[in-house]
């Protein structure tokens, strides 16, 4: 039995992450999802001006999505994390477009 207000429906979530382009950053970011046993639906990355711009799409419940969001902010070299809620699992995917140079 879950406490009142506990959301258990899997939704599609996209994390937009900006991180310094340094060794092991990608591994640490992927490890946050792995530690929570969350399979990645999509992982897109481009490097612009010394920053990795990353979009990670996953299906999970709201509570876990917010916990992962907090854990990502604590990672070394991560400078910004945005969490976007999508539709019920199977909605439109979000990618990253390369900025005009």
Mean pLDDT, rounded, for 2-24: 80
Q: What is the pTM of this model?
A: 0.78
Q: Which of 15-19, 75-79, 84-88 has the lowest mean pLDDT?
A: 84-88
Each domain of the chain, given as residue ranges in start order, spans 28-52+60-89
Provide the β-strand partners of residue 4: none
CB–CB of 7/13 below 8 Å?
no
Whether 87 shows a pLDDT value over 70: the answer reads no
Q: What is the mean pLDDT of residues 25-39?
A: 95
Predicted confidence at residue 88, as pLDDT, reads: 53
CA–CA separation, 11 and 90 (whole Å): 8
Strands 11-20 and 40-48: unpaired
List pLDDT tens digits, range 35-66. Answer: 999 999 999 999 999 999 999 999 999 999 99
Q: Which residues contact 70 (CB under 8 A, 6 or more apart)?
A: none
Please provide the average confidence, as pLDDT, over all residues in the chain: 84
For 2, list phi and psi in degrees, rounded to 5.
Answer: -100, 150
- How much is the pLDDT for 21? 96
Least confident of 21-30, 52-61, 81-90: 81-90
């Amino acid at each position: 039995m879950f406490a009142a207000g506990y959301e258990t429906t899997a939704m599609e979530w996209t994390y937009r992450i900006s991180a310094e382009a340094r060794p092991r950053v990608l591994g640490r970011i992927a490890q946050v999802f792995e530690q929570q046993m969350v399979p990645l639906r999509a992982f897109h990355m481009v490097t612009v001006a010394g920053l990795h711009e990353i979009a990670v799409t996953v299906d999970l419940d709201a509570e876990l999505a917010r916990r992962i969001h907090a854990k990502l902010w604590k990672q070394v070299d991560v400078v910004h994390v945005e969490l976007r809620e999508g539709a019920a699992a199977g909605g439109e995917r979000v990618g990253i477009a390369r900025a005009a140079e």
